[in-house]
Amino acid sequence: MMILAADELLAARYQMALSLGFHIVLSCFGVAFPAMIYVLHRRGIRNDDPEALALAKKWGKAAAVLFAVGAVSGTILSFEMGLLWPGLMSTYGDVIGLPFALEGIAFFLEAIFIGIYLYGWGRLRPEVHLRTLIPIMASGLFGTFCILTVNAWMNAPAGFTLLPDGTVTDVDPIAAMFNDALWQQFTHMYVATFIVAGFLTASVYAVGMLRGRRDRSHRLGFTVPFAFAAVAALVQPFVGHVAGMRLDTDQPSKLAAMELATETEDNAPVVIGGVLIDGEVRGGIEIPKLASLLAGNSFDTVITGLDDIPADEQPPVNIVHWSFQIMIAAGTTMAAIGIWWWWRRRRATEPGGEFDSPWFLRATVLAGVLSVVALEAGWITTEVGRQPWIVYGVMRTEDAVTSNSGVWISLAVMVVVYTSMAVVGSRVLLGMARRWREDDSLDLPTPYGPSGVLQSDARDPEAVG
Amino acid sequence: MSLADVAAALMFLGVVAYAILGGADFGSGVWDLLAGGPREGAHLRSQIDRSIGPVWEANHVWLIYVLVFLWTAFPTAFGAIMTTLFIPWLLVGLGIVLRGGAFAFRKFSGSVREAQLHGAVFAASSVVTPFFLGMIAGAVASGRVPADGSGDVWDSWTGPTSWVGGALAVLTVAFLAATFLAADAERGGDHALAGEIGTKAFWSGLVTGAVALVAALAIELDAETLADGLHTRGLVFVIGSAVAGLATLVLLRQRRWAIARLTAVGAVGAIVVGWGVAQYDWLLVDELTIADAAGARATLIGLIIVFAVAAVTAVPALIWLFVLVNQDEWSTTDH
């Protein structure tokens, strides 16, 4: 029975990881993409720039697809809170529910104004239409804040008293929201959304430019998101550093795993690479004293080692260590690509002329991939690093998981559905891009509508059977 | 009225809103399924796309609203519902993902074939989702969800009240959607299409009424507490729903689509409110009362404040959206 229960726990964790790992990429677009559309749209109407306006309209249509999938994958997460983790929600639902309710408002505003924006072309006055993007951006910011309060609370629980008999009392939902980890985690994630949406979008245009499509529209589509991402990628290392600084006191087990610290010590080294096998670090390069310096801005900072953390309170060390290092490596590379761009831009005499280097465009494509890698790796670091706790130091994940035995089946279903969604969604987006290239018309006639059916009637009578 | 009662009432407001607004969106998918091949269904499908395209994401948030209220104000009840009704919730979740994704994919499909595939997924999941939501409602209303979540994973939601709940949910949303679509088509100037959908509305309304009578019988036999409530303080809502439903049928016959839509909303809203009033003060019928399920007092107060904030932020925006989509220039095609 014990083994069965452990298996169900694993299935539940995989399912949550899959759904969150999928949703987190889409939510980056939901939060950051509207700002990029805003820049183009504003330029389009203020500078009378039809190319910028056309790009804004295209991005709006692409956003419609991404946001729709984001909205429904977000809904699944709210189901899973109860389906997979009833123990967490039954016990702490009223402690951490309030930010979810506030996030509901953000979600409402986002969904309402997205509907208005997407269908507002030609129906609203241009200035009013442009301004409908502002509440979308604001609710992206606020929604990120609300969700991160909850995640930060799981790392730094506050706002309640746990009695010895297991009951929760003295609930203070405001204190729970404004816990010690909130601001660092929120800023880190918010900046990340711009890196991901920016580099991914820029990389699409970089591919187009590498294939010889170097018209102004491609340059615009490249430059705007790239600029957002480049700024964010340069800020992020500092934000991340601050986010990590609370760990030595608040979450020593997570820090020990991230740094592969086997013994408690000051002047602790950073270990690059390396794996922990039977309690010993194999391989890896040590940089003396750096971990202490990074954790507390001083060589004297003591980093708790795994030897001082009970075995049943340690996270899966190697996963946390490697995902942390992958995040750092990817983040550093992206920051370097950002610096490269700023440097080239400063030296360029002719605006726009500096992006023709194929190597730079290839680097941007790489940055697009790395942005997602860094996002997922960073998220794995914080989530897996919190294990075995679902609420750090208070509730174990195994005590929160559902008693249902069907989790492996639901996991299998989710894998199939999410894989198909990813494949089909990419196909649809690529198809949209192809049709835009082939035809100057911005509108994509719906094939199932009267005009679409008539068109395909003429071309391909077979298809209408 | 206690704080917990207020929170429960606000949560139930979300149930009513989702049943009407989300319901009309789901119901549109039901008609999409029945619209026939690409050629004969083209006009109706385009109308469905125009009608629900701008609003479906906003209407969908009501479900999130209800879930969040439930886990914040009544955490143990949320845990119990999600544990006992694991399977139908999973199917609802699956339906929601497939429906939302496929609806967006269909709009931008490159070929008729592709659009047919996405359209089929969208339409089929529009039937499946309300059906299982109805079954879930039936499980709660017939007292089959124990407070500790230990209900049988199959039997709890496959009783008679669940089956009629599922059937009634699908029929109701189809009826509601047809009245919405008829009014929208009329405003868009397509009188022929309005008449066509209006006829669907009439017949589906008739069938829904007939099935509601069967449902009433099933509830009498299967869900005693709910039946008692419906005889007493819920009665006025049951009668109100019946009257509004009959009025809708008459108005549909007179081709007065815009007013028929309002009475249809009244009929559906009244019966959902009637259900809530009838099972008061149970949150999980026969198992857990609202008072016993209530979470921390500070959180309940916070939640009511959040609702007030939503009322002054999201509600005006929502009204603006509905005003916009009901303007003439929003009722015609994009291109």
Q: Specify whether the backbone of A214 is left (phi greater than 0), alpha (psi in -120 to 50) or beta.
A: alpha
Query: Any bridge partners for residue B288, and if so which?
Result: B284
pLDDT at A4 over 60: no
Mean pLDDT of chain A: 89
Nearest CA in chain A to B76: A90
Tell whether B61 is within 8 A of chain A (Cβ).
yes
In a domain, A177, yes or no: no
Mean pLDDT of B118-128: 96
For residue A43, how many other CB atoms are within 10 A of its CB? 18
At A301 the pLDDT is: 87
The pLDDT of residue B327 is 83
- Asked if B78 lies within 8 A of A115 by C-beta distance, the reply is no
Q: What is the pLDDT of residues A25-53, one digit of tens each?
A: 999 999 999 999 999 999 999 999 999 99
Identify whether residues A214 and A92 lie together within a single domain.
no
On whether any CB of chain A is under 8 Å from the CB of B233, the answer is no
Q: Write out chain B residues lying below 8 Å of A425, CB-based.
A: 101, 105
Residue B188 has pLDDT above 80, yes or no: yes
B330, A119: Cβ pair inside 8 Å?
Answer: yes
Q: Which of B107, B302, B330 sits opposite A446 (nearest CB)?
A: B107
* Residue from A29, A67, A72 whose CB has the most chain B CBs within 10 Å, to mutate: A72
Whole-angstrom CA distances from A201 to A128, A229, A233, A437, B76 are 26, 10, 15, 17, 43
Q: For residues B156 and B84, is the Cβ–Cβ distance under 8 A?
A: yes
pLDDT classification of A440: cutoffs 50, 70, 90: low
Task: Give yes or no for residue A353 having a pLDDT over 70.
Answer: no
Residue A444 placed within a domain: yes
Rounded Cα gap, residues B276 and A159, in angstroms: 33
Do B306 and A102 make contact, defined as CB atoms within 8 angstroms? yes
Rounded to whole angstroms, the Cα distance separating A438 from A141 reads 36
Asked if B38 and A448 come within 8 Å (Cβ–Cβ), the reply is yes
Q: Is residue A176 part of a domain?
A: no
Q: Is the pLDDT of residue A350 over 90?
A: no
The pLDDT confidence band at residue A460, using thresholds 50, 70 and 90, is very low
Count the alpha carbons within 13 Å of A57 in the hemisphere toward its beta carbon: 20
- Per-residue pLDDT, A2: 44
Residue B292 has pLDDT above 90, yes or no: yes
Contact A160, A95 (CB under 8 A): yes
Same domain, A377 and A414: no
Residues A411 and A368 in one domain: no
Whether residue A80 is found in the same domain as residue A199: no
How far is B331 from B289, CA to CA, in rounded Å?
A: 46
The model's pLDDT over A127-158, given as tens digits with 9 standing for 90+, comes to: 999 999 999 999 999 999 999 999 999 999 99
Give mean pLDDT, residues B24-38: 94
Mean pLDDT (chain B) is 94
Interface of B with A in 304-323 (CB under 8 A): 306-307, 309-310, 313-314, 317-318, 320-321
Domain that holds residue A150: 1-168+407-465
DSSP-based three-state secondary structure for A390: strand
Inter-chain contact B71–A89, Cβ cutoff 8 Å? yes
User: Percent of chain B at pLDDT above 70?
Assistant: 99
Section B124-135 average pLDDT:
97
A199 and A134 share a domain?
no
A453 and A356 both lie in a single domain: no
* Contacting residues of B for A58, CB less than 8 Å apart: none
Give, for B287, the enclosing helix (H) or strand (E): none
- Look at residue A342 in the predicted model and tell me its pLDDT: 85
- Residue A181, domain member (yes or no): no
pLDDT at residue B334, as a whole number: 54
Q: Is the pLDDT of residue B303 over 90?
A: yes
Q: Which of B71, B100, B309 sits opposite A71 (nearest CB)?
A: B100
CB contact set of A344 (below 8 Å; sequence gap of 6+): A354, A355, A357, A360
Residue A280: what are its φ and ψ, rounded to 5°?
-120, 145
A359 with A419, same domain?
no
The answer to whether residue A173 is domain-embedded is no
pLDDT of residue A274 exceeding 90: no
Structure tokens at B90: 């999973």
Asked if residue A463 and residue A355 are part of one domain, the reply reads no
Tens of pLDDT, residues A87-124: 999 999 999 999 999 999 999 999 999 999 998 888 89
Report how far residue B125's alpha carbon sits from residue A127's, in angstroms, rounded to the nearest whole number: 38
Q: Which of residues 98-117 of B touch A (CB under 8 A)?
A: 98-101, 103-116
According to DSSP, the residues that pair with A391 across neighbouring strands are A395
If asked whether residues A357 and A267 sit together in one domain, one would say yes
Mutate to test the interface with A, among B64, B65, B288 (most CBs of A within 10 A): B64
Out of A100, A112, A413, name the one closest to residue B321 (CB).
A112
Please name the residue of chain B whose CA is at the shortest distance from the CA of residue A104.
B65
Name the token pair of A258: 């991230």
- Is the backbone peptide bond immediately before A388 cis, with ω within 30 degrees of 0? yes
What's the pLDDT score for residue A148? 96
Domain end position, chosen among A379, A405, A431: A405
Asked if B54 and A115 come within 8 Å (Cβ–Cβ), the reply is yes
Q: How far apart are CA A233 and CA A123, in angstroms?
A: 37
Q: Please write the tens of the pLDDT for every residue from A209-225.
A: 999 888 888 989 999 99
Provide the number of structural domains found in chain A: 2
Q: How many CA atoms are closer than 13 Å to the CA of A405, on its beta-carbon side? A: 8
Q: Is A199 found in the same domain as A147?
A: no
Peptide bond into A440 cis (omega under 30): no
Q: Which backbone phi and psi does A217 adopt, to 5 degrees?
A: -60, -40
Burial of B304 (0-12, 13-18, 19+ CB in 10 A): middle
- Helix or strand run (H / E) with residue A286: strand A285-287
Q: Do A452 and B42 touch (CB under 8 A)?
A: yes
Chain-chain contact of B303 with A98 (C-beta, under 8 angstroms): yes
Q: Backbone phi, then psi, for A48, in 5-degree steps?
A: 55, 55
- Provide the chain B residues 68-97 that lie in CB contact (below 8 A) with chain A: 68-69, 71-76, 78-83, 86-87, 89-90, 92-94, 96-97
Task: Tell me which residue in B93, B106, B153 faces A448 most closely, judged by beta carbons.
Answer: B106
Contacts of range A150-154, beta carbons closer than 8 Å, 24 or more positions apart: A150/A96, A150/A99, A150/A100, A151/A185, A151/A382, A152/A179, A152/A180, A152/A181, A152/A182, A152/A184, A152/A185, A152/A186, A153/A95, A153/A96, A153/A177, A153/A179, A153/A181, A153/A182, A153/A391, A154/A386, A154/A389, A154/A390, A154/A391, A154/A392
Residue B4 has pLDDT above 60, yes or no: yes
| Alpha-helical regions (H) of A387-406 | 397-400
Identify the pLDDT of residue A3: 47
Is the pLDDT at A292 greater than 80, yes or no? Answer: yes
Q: Which residues, including other chains, have CB under 8 Å from residue A45's CB and lie 6 or more apart?
A: A53, A126, A127, A130
CA distance B228 to chain A (A): 30
User: Looking at the domain assignment, is residue A185 inside a domain?
Assistant: no
A302 versus B240: the higher-pLDDT residue is B240
Asked whether residue A162 is domain-assigned, the answer is yes
A443 by DSSP, 3-state: which? Answer: coil
Instruction: List A396's β-bridge partners, or say none.
Output: A389
Give the model confidence (pLDDT) of B152-161 as tens digits.
999 999 999 9
Contact (CB, 8 A) for B54 and A123: no
| Cα(B225)–Cα(B117) distance, integer angstroms | 44
A183 within some domain = no
Q: Which B residues 138-167 touch A at CB under 8 Å? A: 149, 153
Q: Which of A356, A376, A405 is the last residue of a domain?
A: A405
Minimal Cα–Cα distance from B127 to chain A, Å? 17
Confidence of residue A351 (pLDDT cuts 50, 70, 90): low
Say whether both A301 and A380 belong to one domain. Answer: yes
Residue A348 clears pLDDT 90, i.e. is over it: no
* pLDDT mean over B221-227: 95
The pLDDT tens digits for A146-196 are 999 999 999 999 999 999 988 899 999 999 999 999 999 999 999 999 999
Question: Is A69 in Cβ contact with B100 (below 8 Å)?
Answer: yes
Q: What pLDDT was estimated at residue A349?
A: 57
Question: Domain check: are A363 and A464 in the same one?
Answer: no
Residue with tokens 């950051």: A32
